[in-house]
Amino acid sequence: MDTVERSAGQSQRERILQVAARLFAERGYHAIGISELGDAVQLGRGALYHHIKSKEDLLYDISKEYIADLADFGERVARGEPDPAQRVRMLGKQLVLKIASHQAELTVCFREIQSLTEPRRSEVLALHGKYEKVWRDAMVDGADLGLFRPYDPIVLKGVLGMYFYSYLWMKPDGRLTPASIAERLNEMALRMLDIQGPVA
């Protein structure tokens, strides 16, 4: 019975997080009040505060979960895949699929870091740094093996910007599947990293 109750509580919390992410993504974290969130999840203030400690708790959980997942996956990829180009493809695909499947959450994760107060802001920024390092390592390894151009932090930022920005334009019901979008972005990332420059 205790397990069942806890499980029901968890799924209620998941539901609140999902609705909060959608509202924060659509209108911005600070634009959404607790009472509006309560209306959206059909819970009164008391019931809502049974599941969450504060509105910032929700922002923190949303901001942390996805970037932590991406960083963990990235570190597993780095350990398991020695080919840097293949690693870039795996990282790119995971990133695009995650943005596609959790677009509201990733929108909040990428756009609302400044809305977190310290020390949570620094903690989430450190997770972003951990994730960036996975990409950086792939680029450095590729350069060391003579497969990629010499490592350049601007190339790292450019590649990540190309992927990250898709939270703004990817359409869940678009003509292209997320896997096909990932393939095209991966191909562009490998162009950006190629040992040869453009001929044009």
Least distance from a second copy to the Cβ atom of residue 47, Å: 25
Q: Which of 37, 104, 159, 178 binds a second copy (CB under 8 A)?
A: 159
Q: 3-class DSSP state for residue 148?
A: strand
Stretch that binds a second copy, among 10-18, 37-45, 69-77, 109-117 (CB under 8 A): 109-117
Cis peptide, bond prior to residue 153, ω within 30 of zero: no
Interface with a second copy in residues 49-108 (CB under 8 A): 85
Give the pair of three-digit tokens for residue 164: 């990250």
Q: Which of 8, 31, 126, 179 binds a second copy (CB under 8 A)?
A: 31
Q: Sign of torsion, CA 177 109 138 188?
A: positive
The yes or no reply on residue 26 touching a second copy (CB under 8 A) is yes
The yes or no reply on residue 173 touching a second copy (CB under 8 A) is no
d(CA 48, CA 33): 12
Least distance from a second copy to the Cβ atom of residue 34, Å: 14
Count of residues engaged in binding a second copy, rule: CB under 8 A:
47
Alpha-helical (H) ranges within the chain are: 2-27, 34-41, 45-51, 55-80, 84-101, 103-111, 120-144, 153-164, 166-169, 178-193
Binding positions for a second copy, rule: CB under 8 A? 25-31, 85, 111-112, 114-115, 142, 147-148, 152, 154-155, 157-166, 168-169, 176, 181, 184-185, 187-188, 190-200
